[in-house]
Amino acid sequence: MTDTNSNSTANVKGATVEAMFNEIAPRYDLLNHILSLNIDRIWRKKLIKKLKAENPSHVLDIATGTADLSIMLGKRSKDIRITGIDVAEQMLAVGRRKVYNKGLSDRIQLKRAAAEDIPYPDATFDCAMVAFGVRNFSRPDLGLREIRRVLKPGGKLFVLEFSTPSKFPMKGLYRFYFHSVLPFVGRMVSGHKQAYTYLPESVERFPEGADFVKMMRDAGFEGCSAKKLSFGIATLYGGRHY
Ligand SMILES: C[S@@+](CC[C@H](N)C(=O)[O-])C[C@H]1O[C@@H](n2cnc3c(N)ncnc32)[C@H](O)[C@@H]1O
């Protein structure tokens, strides 16, 4: 009974999140670069560097969106195959155009699928990565378990997610930027009323640091770690499927 209820809540959240990302897809990249002041590129590079050190041949990019992370990895490693999945078809459509324009279509494939129900057999991928996606999953616990299932034993998951700085003066600056500047600019550029108030709200609701590490451990990952980036505006997590 409880499970049925939480699943239906998850489905409602899932449908709303999917619709929201489909609506903002054409402007997502532009807004990402304006609103993050391009700092997200530095964080993405850190993730890619750590992932490349694992020497994977096949990587899963969950909640790939417009495929920025897949493309960054594809450009930096000529012999890695990447599969990107996402629930929002319009985000994937933008991603497919970018992948094609960069000449990466032979190595990067994008498919519509949810993290909670990944359409690949057990032990398919050497590594997995999620950037700014896990907080949007309808059921992060199920999503993490599914990711673990499709990883080969020894395979590593990297998660990049927003977090909230806890120290002065970054804490105050962050709150002002995330709650005032970002929703205003986001609304003006995307024309979407909720998307950029959803962002700070979803970040504050989502478990971070030790709480998210616990969630990874509960999903079966081992050797989990969390490294704060840029005074804690983002955190890079890692965990292995042994
Ligand atoms: C903020 S975007 C991040 C996109 C991309 N990873 C990036 O770094 O720019 C979040 C993405 O998560 C996707 N998403 C949300 N819930 C999902 C789920 N349950 N499974 C797969 N993708 C999901 C959304 O459709 C959206 O494209």
Name the average pLDDT for the chain: 91
- Decide if pLDDT at 132 tops 70: yes
Is residue 182 domain-resident?
no
pLDDT band at 7 (very low <50, low <70, confident <90, very high): very low
Is residue 46 domain-resident?
yes
Average of pLDDT values for 129-134? 97
Please report, for the domain that includes residue 82, its CATH number: 3.40.50.150
With b meaning 16 or more CB within 10 Å and e meaning fewer, what string describes 162-197? Answer: bbbbeeeeeeeebeeebeeebbeebeeebebebbbb
Question: Quick one: pLDDT at residue 9?
Answer: 43
Q: How far apart are CA 68 and CA 62, in angstroms?
A: 12
Lowest mean per-residue pLDDT among 89-93, 120-124, 196-200: 196-200
Is residue 32 domain-resident?
no
Is residue 51 domain-resident?
yes
Cα 169 to ligand 1 centre (Å): 30
Q: How far apart are CA 136 and CA 71, in angstroms?
A: 21
> In the beta sheet, which residues pair with residue 58?
81
Question: Quick one: pLDDT at residue 174?
Answer: 86
Pocket of ligand 1 (CB under 6 A): 14, 17-18, 21, 62-65, 68-69, 85-88, 91, 114-116, 131-133, 136-138, 143
Sequence-separated (6 or more) residues with CB below 8 Å from residue 35 = 182, 185, 186, 196
pLDDT tens for residues 182-219? Answer: 888 888 878 887 777 888 888 889 999 999 999 999 99
Is residue 78 domain-resident?
yes
Is residue 181 domain-resident?
no
Question: Quick one: pLDDT at residue 210?
Answer: 97
Question: Quick one: pLDDT at residue 11?
Answer: 52
Which residue has a Cα nearest atom 10 of ligand 1? 133
Q: Please give the structure tokens belonging to residue 174.
A: 């962050």
DSSP, collapsed to helix, strand or coil, labels residue 110 as: strand
Sequence-separated (6 or more) residues with CB below 8 Å from residue 83 = 58, 59, 60, 61, 108, 109, 110, 111, 120, 125
Helix axes 2-36, 195-205, angle to 10 degrees: 120
- Decide if pLDDT at 234 tops 90: yes
Expressed as residue numbers, the domain containing 106 is 2-25+37-164+207-240
Instruction: State the SS3 of 75-100.
Output: HHCCCCEEEEEECCHHHHHHHHHHHH
Residue type present at position 72:
M
Which residue has a Cα nearest atom 4 of ligand 1? 65
If one counts the domains in the chain, the total is 1
pLDDT band at 61 (very low <50, low <70, confident <90, very high): very high
- Decide if pLDDT at 6 tops 50: no
Average of pLDDT values for 153-165? 96
Is residue 184 domain-resident?
no
- Decide if pLDDT at 106 tops 60: yes
DSSP result, 151-198: EEEEEEEEEEEE----STTHHHHHHHIIIIIHHHHHHHHH--SSHHHH
Atom of ligand 1 nearest to the CA of 67: 5
Predicted structure pTM score: 0.93
Average of pLDDT values for 90-113? 98
Is residue 198 domain-resident?
no
Cα 35 to ligand 1 centre (Å): 17
- Decide if pLDDT at 12 tops 70: no
